């Protein structure tokens, strides 16, 4: 899934991601930045994420318009 950081508190690690496809909000799972390229997040930052068993966002990685197949940004990468 891909979305945008809606809010993030670097002190507590709490945050919310808004999903691009259904506009739903997902809370960040505790430790969701561990092992990711991020030290912190900023509002509006595009990320790729998966949901854990509790429905919280985890396994964050960098997202882009190309990944979504947005018109004018080229085709999505082949996996």
CATH at residue 55: 2.40.50.140
**Residue 40 lies inside a defined structural domain of this protein:** yes
**Residue 77 lies inside a defined structural domain of this protein:** no
Per-residue model confidence as pLDDT tens digits over 31-42: 888 877 888 899
**Residue 49 lies inside a defined structural domain of this protein:** yes
**Residue 42 lies inside a defined structural domain of this protein:** yes
Write down how long the chain is.
Answer: 79
**Residue 78 lies inside a defined structural domain of this protein:** no
**Residue 14 lies inside a defined structural domain of this protein:** yes
Asked if residues 60 and 32 have their Cβ atoms less than 8 Å apart, the reply is yes
Residue 58 CA to residue 19 CA, distance in Å, equals 13
**Residue 19 lies inside a defined structural domain of this protein:** yes
Three-state SS for 67? helix
Would you say residue 73 has pLDDT above 70? no
Kind and range of the H or E run holding 45: none
Q: Provide the number of structural domains found in the chain.
A: 1
pLDDT band at 69 (very low <50, low <70, confident <90, very high): low
**Residue 73 lies inside a defined structural domain of this protein:** no
HSE of 51, CA atoms in CB hemisphere, 13 A = 15
Check residue 66 and report its DSSP letter.
H
Would you say residue 70 has pLDDT above 70? no
| Full residue range of the structural domain in which residue 6 is found | 2-66
């Amino acid at each position: 899934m891909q979305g945008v950081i809606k809010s993030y508190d670097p002190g507590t690690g709490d945050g919310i991601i808004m999903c691009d496809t259904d506009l739903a909000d997902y809370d960040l799972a505790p430790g969701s930045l561990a092992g990711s390229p991020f030290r912190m997040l900023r509002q509006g930052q595009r990320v790729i994420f998966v949901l854990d068993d509790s429905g919280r966002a985890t396994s964050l990685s960098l997202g882009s318009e190309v990944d979504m197949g947005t018109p004018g940004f080229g085709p999505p990468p082949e996996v």
